[in-house]
Structure 1
Amino acid sequence: MTYYGKCIEAVVERLGQFRPEKDSTQQFLEAMNPDLQTLSPPQQVFILELLSGCLEYRKLLKVVVDAFYVRDGRFCLWADYHLFEVICYLATFQLEELGFQLFCKIIKSQPLDKMCKFLKFFLNPLYLCTWIKDEWSLIYETTHVQTNWISPLMRWQPEVQELIAELETILANGQPVVKTKAKVTEPKEFKLTVPRPRAIPVPEPVPVVAKPKPIPRSTYQLPKEQELLEMSKRYNRRKAEELLLKANVEELRCAMPRARGTPPTQSSEKKLHIQVPARIRRTPTLTFYRPDNIPVKLNTAAILREGALYQRQVERELERVDKLVDGAGDFSEFLEWQRKMQMKDQEERRAAEECRRLQGKLSHEEAILARQNLVQENKQKAEQKKEEAEALRQLCEQRRLQEQRSMKQLVTQVAEAQKNVRVAQMRLAKGRRQIAQEVMEKSRELLQQSAQEVREQQRQRCELISQLRAMETQPPHPGKLVDLTQIPGHRLEGEMSIVELRERLALLREAQQRAQEEKRDQIIQGKRARSQELQDTMERLSMCRAAMGRAAALRWEEKKGQVADPGPQDERVLELRRRIAEKAAQRRGQAAVLRVSAPRPVRPKPRAQLEVQHWLELEQSRERKLQSGQQGGPARRLEAA
C-alpha cells in the first residue's frame, strides 16, 4: 500500500510543478531525473511512465476531471485535481497492463471517500457511452476512442462495480478514512564538511584505428581535361592576336599616302614588319562555315502570328488580282522610278557613312594633338609644383623650430607646478573623507528603507496566500455541456445544428469537386482542338514558305545583273581626307618635337593603345560591311528566303 501511495504522491507533486505555457514535456522529464536517483529502479520506471502519460493525454483527463468538479465533486478540494487526473489515466490506459488486483491496491492506498466518489462518476456506463465519448471524439477519431478506450472500460464494468460496492461498505462500516497530513518543514543542518576528493578514473585504452589509405596523387594534380583546355585557350588567343595584327598591318598599309593601284614599296613593308612582335607568327586566314538546316522550334504565338501574316498576304494578292480584272492600271513605271530613287538614296547613305567614318578619323587625329599639347602643359605644371614644394619645406622647418622653443617653455612650467602638488593632495584627502561620511549615512538610510519595504511585501504576500486558499475552498461555477444535435434557438432564419451544418458542408464540397472535374474535362478537350488547329496551321505555313522561297529565287535571278557600279566620290569625302592628311602630318611633326625634347621615349598609355585598336577595328568592320553589302547581300537574302 505505502509503495504505490508514495509513487502516486510523487507524480501528483510533479504535475503541480508543470507549467504548460512555459515548460516543454521533454525538458520537464529530463529535469526530473536527478530527483529520482534516490528511488529504486522499478519506482523510477513507474513514476516516469505515469507522469509522461498524464502530460501526453492532458486534454482527455481535463475533460473528465473538470466535469467531475462541476457535477459530483463540488465539495472536493482543488488541491486533489492532479490526484484525480492520475486515477483517470490509470483506469483508462493502464488497467489492462497493471491488472485489476494491482489497480485495486493503488485505489485503496488513497483516501477511500474521494476514490469512491470519483470512480462512481467516471466509470458510470451511461456517462462513458454518451458525453464522455462525444467529448473525447472532438479531440481524437471516434473509431479510435471507441476501440481503444471506451470498449475496454465497458468490459471491466462488473469488476469495477464490485470494487465501488466494496468501497461503499468499508465507508458505511465506519472504517477511519485515510487523511493526508500537511507537510511540516523539517530543519536540516548545514553540510559544512569538506567533501572527499574524487578518485582518479582509470584511463580507457586507446582504440586501435585502422591505417587510412594514402591520399592519391590526383588530389594535388590538375586533371588532363583542364590542361587541354588551357592549351586550347592559349592556341586560340595566339591565333586571334595574329589575325588582329594582320588586320592592323593591312589597315596601316591602306592608310599610307600612295597612288591608287601601285604596290607597296619594300621600305614600307620593312617598316610594317618591324612592329610585329617576335612571339607572333603569321597563319593563314581562318574559314568560318555557316551551319545549314538549323531546326527552329516555334511556340503557339509565333505559329499563329506567321499564319495570320500569310493569310493577310493572300488576301492582299487576291484583292490586287480582282482590281486588275476590273480594269485597274499597272504600276511598272512607278516601280522603276521608285527603284532608281532607292538606288540614289542608297548612294547618298554610303557617302554619308563614309563622311561619318572620316569625321571620326579626323576627331581621332585632333584628340592625339590635344593630348600632346596636354603633355606639354603638364610638364610646365610639374615644374611649378616643385617650386611650391620647396617653399613649403622651408616653411615647415621654421614651424618645427618654433615648436621646439614652445616645448622647452612648457617643461619649465610643469617643473614649477610640481612644487605645489603636496598641498593639493592634502586638500583632496580631506574632501574625500567628508564625501565618504556622507555616503555611509545615505547607505544606512537606504538599508532601513529597503528593510521596511521587504516587511511590507511579506505582509502583502501573506494576505494574498490567505485569499487564494479561501478561493480554493469555494465551489466552482457549474458549466454546460455542448450537444451537437441541438439547435441554438436564437430565432434566426436558416438556423441549424452543428451536425446538420457539417452534412451540408460535405454535400457542398462534393458538388464543388464535381464542378472541378467537369471544368477539367472541358479544358482537356479545348487543348486537343487547339493542338489540331496548330498542326493544320503548320502544314499551311510549310506550303507558304516553299512558295515564298521559289518566288525569292526568281526575283534574285532577275536582279542579278542589275547591281550598279559605285558612282563618283562626294566632294565632302575628298575634303575630309585632305584635312585628315594635314592633321596626320601635323601630329607627326609634334611627335618628333616631343621625342627630341624628352630625355627618354614616353611609353604609350594603355588607354591610348585601346583607342587606336578601337578605331582600327571600327574601320575594318565598316569595310567588311560595305563589301558584304555589295557582294554577298543578295545571296544572304536568298538564303534567308
Structure 2
Amino acid sequence: MEIFGENGLKHFLLCNKVHYSKELLRFLCTYNVISEIKSEWVRVYDETFVNEFLIKPLEKWRPIFSALQEYLESDKNTFHPRKVTEIQPFKLTVPKPRSVLIPEIVIPEMQKMRNPPPSTYNQPPEISLLETEKFKNRQKIENLKIQSNKLQPRCSGVTCSDAKVMKNQNQCNLEKISTVSLEDISKSRKKINFPISLESHRTNSYKRNNLSVLNKTAVVNTNAVTILREWKLYSDREKEQRQKLFQLESGAFTDVAFNAWKEEEEMKMKINQLKQVERNRLNVMISHEASLAAKFNLSSKRQIEANELKVEKRAKLMELLNEKKLEQERMNKIAKVIASSHENAKIAKKEVMKKKRKLASEILKESKQLLHEAEIKAQEENKIKRELIAKIQAEESSAIMTKPHNVKQIDLCNTPGHGLLNEMSIIELRERLIQLKINKQCELNKKRDEIISDKEQKTKILSELLNRIGKHRSVKTMAKVKKMYDNLENNSVNNCKFSKEDIYKNDPSLQEMLNYLNKQKAERQNNIKNDQSRIFRKYVNKGVKNKGNQFTRTFWDELERQREKRSCIETGSTHHPSQHLITSLTA
C-alpha cells in the first residue's frame, strides 16, 4: 500500500469484477475479523511482529477501505441494463410505372384433358415374378452355402502358387483341421454322387507342352472342401454326356451340313469385303496422284517468283554494304581518340598506386609493434594462471589420498532378513529362474509333437481324395488338347489368304480404276524427268536460303580483320582496341 497508494489500490479493484472487490472490502472493514486474524497469526509468528507489521497497517488503511466500499456501492457504479433496439418500419419508395404496359390478352379456356389410365402407375407383373425368382434362388444359394460351410475346414483360404508359401499353407491347414476324421468325410461322400472311377491316361511330352500353354493361370492350393466340390462337378458332366448319347441313339440330327453351308457363306462375305477394301484403296491412290500433279504445277509457279525476288534482294544488299563502309570509317576515327585518352589514364593510375603502397607499409609497421606488446602481456598472465592451477591440483590430490578406502563385501548365500514372505538369497533366485525356463521348454516340445501327429493324419486323408481326382483331370486334359487341334484347323480354313486374281476376276470396275491409276503415274514420272529444276531442287533451296547470308558474313569478316590491323599499327598493341574500353570501365 505504501508503494502503490490509494490510486493504485482503486485501479486494482476496478480492474477486477465489482462483486469480488465489494466482498473483499467488507471483509477488511469488519472489526471482529482483525481480532480473529491476530489470534491465528500469533500461533505462527511472534506477537510483536504481528502487531507492528500486520495489524497496524490494516487499522491505518481502514478508513480508505471504507471510503472505497462506499464508492463502489453508490448508485454511480451500479449496473444499468442496455437499451433494447426499437423496431421501426421500412420507408419503401413507391414503385415506378412500367415503361411497357402488360398486354390485355384473354387466355382461352381449353377443354379438360382426359385423366391417364391407372395402369401407367402400376408396376408390371413381370418385375414381381423376377423378384420372386431372385428370392428363391437366393434361398437355394444360402442353403448350399450352409451345407458347404459344415464340411468346410478353418483353413479353406486361397494361397499363392509359390513353393514356399504352399508349404506354409499346407502346414496351417493340417494344424487347424484336427477335428475332421475319416468317418466325417465318408458321410459327406454319401451325400454327393461320385462318378465311376476312370483309368489314368499318361500324356506324351508333346501333349504336355500344349497343356502348359492352356494352363497359364496360377495354381491354387486345394482344401478338403474344394476336393469334394470337384467330385460333384465331374459327376454332373458325365450325366450330360450320357443324355446326349441317348438322344443320338433315338434319332437326333447333327449340325455338320449347317456348318458346311455356314463356312461357304462366310467365304463369300470375305471376298466381297476384300473387293470393297481394294476399291477404297484405288480411290485413295487416284486422289493422291491428283494432289501430286497439283503440287507440281504450284511449285513451278513459285520457283519463277523466287528467282525474281533473288535479283531484287541482291540489289538491296549492295546498297546496304556501301552504307556500312562509311559507318566503319567513322568508327575507326573514334577508336583513335579513345586510345590516346587511355594512355593518359594509365600514367595517372601508376602515380596513385605508388602513394597507396607507401601508406600501407607505414600502417603495417605500427600494427606489428602493437601486436608484439600484446603478446608479452598475455604470456605473463598465462604464467600466473598456471601456478594457481598447480597449487589447487596439489591440494585436491592430497585430500583424496587421505580418505579411507573401505570396500563393502556381499554374501550371495545370505537372505536380507527384512521379515517379508518368500525371502530368498540371490543364488536361490537364480536356480528357480533356470528351473522355470526348463519347464517352459518341455511344454513347448509337447505341443509341437501333438501338432505334427495331427498333420500326418490329415495328409493321409487328403492324399486318397487327390489320387482319385487326378484320374478325372487326366481325361479332361486330353479332351482340351483335341479341342485345341480342332480350333487350329478351323482357324487355318477361316484365315486363308486370297490372291489379287480372285479379287479382280469378276469385277471389271476394279480393273478400269487400276488402269486409270497407272496412266496418272506414268504422266507424273514423265513430268519429273523433263523438269530440270526438279532434279536440282536441293541446290536451289540451299541457295535461296543461305547464299545471301554467306555473302554478308564473308564481307563483314574481311572488314573486321582490316580494322584490327589498322588499330594495332596505330596504337602499337597486340590486342583489339575494343578491349581498352573494357579495362577502363573495370578500373
Task: Give the TM-score category using the shorter length.
Answer: 0.3 to 0.5
TM-score, normalised relative to structure 2: 0.34
Which of structures 1 and 2 has the bigger CA Rg?
2
TM-score, normalised relative to structure 1: 0.31
